[in-house]
Amino acid sequence: MTKLRLATQRYLESILGVPTHLKPISLKLPYHLQDAYTCIVLTLQFAPAPLDLLLLLPSNPTYLGAVTLTKHFAQIRKATPATPVYVCQALSSADRRSLISHQLNFIQPGYQLFVPELAIDLRERVRQRQTQAQITALLPAAQAMLLARLYKIGSNDTPFPASGLMGNLSYSRVTLSKVVDQLLQIGLLDPVPLKGANQAYTFSASATEVFKRARPYLRSPVKRQVAISTELAPEHGTFLAGESALAKHTLLAAPAQPIYGMTRPHFDALLAQGSIQLSTSVDDTKAWVQIWAYDTLETSGNGADEASLLLSLDNSQDARIQIALDELKERVEWLGSGD
């Protein structure tokens, strides 16, 4: 029995490439099943979520037949949610074909492995790793929701529904679903099961650590910058951005020509209304407008929020701006953690 157990362990480690752990388990089974099998839990130590298989090591090495094993599997599944796997050292090719046709999990160490549940799990893990590897930047909506939530929770958080990420932001449920998927895939969110069909989430670490982990996926919200021939007053949808916003928060001198931020729909609306005109020359330029991927997260709405402002200027080569950004980071507890 010990020899079969170790052979199975080595076989799985060699073909799956992961370490394993064996542990006996006591199940409430009919006496004839307790006599027929030694039950062992084999843990495949995948990261971050291990996977357990219930190995059924037969006391009698003689193959029992697919019909008998089908009845045994049905009784064992009533006693445990674990995936049962029949282990046998001696199986003919006809025996293996019979087990496969009856959809019975089995392992013949050194010869064949048939565990469809394991294949599905591995496929999902590979898909998640591939998807995660493809993520180089968060969606603008994901970045906005993440930063808005970090502003709200500070350094502590409790489980919240998916809609808690959206807060006061206006995004569709489809977009919210994509955001949750991205944050789960890069390990910023952890699911928290609740009673019933409800699903809640919590951040995987403190706000400081979450921002640090997220930093490689965060991008400047500025999509483009255009010159305009009129100055604007900050109002709903129009906010100070760039050096103008940085000067508001720090000792940096404000630029001669103010810089505003707004989303593309708001810019197009002001342009259509005639509230702003594009500059036709350097002499005609009175201000600049940055087209942002999302609106400011500052509650007053008059200026760019600190985190988004930092992201918009972080690549500046101006030493004055970098000094001011260091000063800006001191305004929010978790903001300096992305360095």
Provide mean pLDDT across the span 83-102.
91
Last residue of a domain, one of 184, 217, 250: 217
Q: Is 244 a member of any domain?
A: yes
**Is 241 within the bounds of a domain?**
yes
- Based on the fold, state whether residues 7 and 104 are members of the same structural domain: yes
Does 273 map to a domain? Answer: yes
pLDDT at position 86 is 95
pLDDT band (50, 70, 90) for residue 33: very high
What percent of the chain stands above pLDDT 70? 91
How far are the Cα atoms of 35, 37, 49, 280 from residue 88, in angstroms, in the given order?
A: 16, 11, 28, 82
Q: Within a domain: residue 128?
A: no
Verify that 153 and 108 share a domain, yes or no. no
Residue matched to tokens 């090591």: 57
133 pLDDT tier (thresholds 50, 70, 90): low
126 pLDDT more than 60: no
H or E stretch including 53? Answer: strand 51-58
Residue type, 196: G
Rounded to an integer, what is the distance from CA 14 to the centroid of its chain?
A: 30
Domain end residue (candidates: 122, 154, 181): 122
- What is 249-296 written as a DSSP string? HSSPPPPSS-EEEEEHHHHHHHHHHTS--B--STTT--EEEEEESS--
Confidence of residue 100 (pLDDT cuts 50, 70, 90): very high
Q: Do 88 and 191 have their domain in common?
A: no
The residue with greater pLDDT, 307 or 119, is 307
Domain closes at, from 217, 232, 251: 217
Question: Is the same domain home to 234 and 334?
Answer: yes
282 and 212 share one domain? no
Average pLDDT of the segment spanning 20-29: 90
Looking at residue 129, what is its pLDDT? 57
| C-alpha to C-alpha distance for 144 and 239, rounded to whole angstroms | 16
Look at the alpha carbons of 322, 255, 306, 185 in this order and tell me if their dihedral is positive or negative.
Answer: negative
Query: Has residue 206 been placed in a domain?
Result: yes
pLDDT, greater one: 118 or 53: 53
**Residue 275 forms part of a structural domain:** yes
CB atoms under 10 Å from CB of 41, counted, come to 15
Q: Do residue 151 and residue 199 come from a single domain?
A: yes
Place 73 in a pLDDT band, splitting at 50, 70 and 90: very high
User: Domain with 150 in it: what CATH number?
Assistant: 1.10.10.10
CA atoms within 13 A on the CB side of 9: 16
User: Residues 49-64: what's their mean pLDDT?
Assistant: 88
Mean pLDDT of 201-220: 91
Reply yes or no on whether the pLDDT at 156 is more than 90: no
DSSP one-letter code for 89: S
**Does one domain contain both 208 and 231?**
no
Q: Exposed, middle or buried: residue 138 (CB in 10 Å: 0-12, 13-18, 19+)?
A: buried
153 located within any domain = yes
Residues 6+ apart with CB under 8 A from 205: 213
Number of domains in the chain: 3
Q: Counting Cβ atoms within 10 Å, is residue 76 exposed (0-12), middle (13-18) or buried (19+)?
A: buried
- H-helix or E-strand containing 38? strand 37-44
| 200 and 302, same domain (yes or no) | no
- 9 shares its domain with 114: yes
Claim to verify: residue 192 and residue 231 sit in the same structural domain: no
Q: Is residue 158 pLDDT above 60, yes or no?
A: yes
Asked whether residue 127 is domain-assigned, the answer is: no
The percentage of the chain sitting over the pLDDT mark of 90, rounded to a whole number, equals 55
- In 3D space, the residue among 54, 67, 57 whose CA is nearest the CA of residue 88 turns out to be 57
Q: For the segment 251-283, what is each residue's pLDDT rounded down to a tens digit? A: 999 999 999 999 999 999 999 999 999 999 999
Question: Minimum mean pLDDT among 125-129, 159-163, 230-234, 301-305: which range?
Answer: 125-129
In a shared domain, residues 193 and 91:
no
Q: Which of 144-158, 185-199, 209-223 has the lowest mean pLDDT?
A: 185-199
Adjacent-strand bridge partners of 49: none
Domain residues for the domain of 319 are 222-338
pLDDT at 122: 56
195 — pLDDT class (breaks 50, 70, 90): low
pLDDT at 88 > cutoff 80: yes
| Most confident of the ranges 23-27, 157-161, 269-273 | 269-273
Mark whether 287 and 332 lie in a shared domain: yes
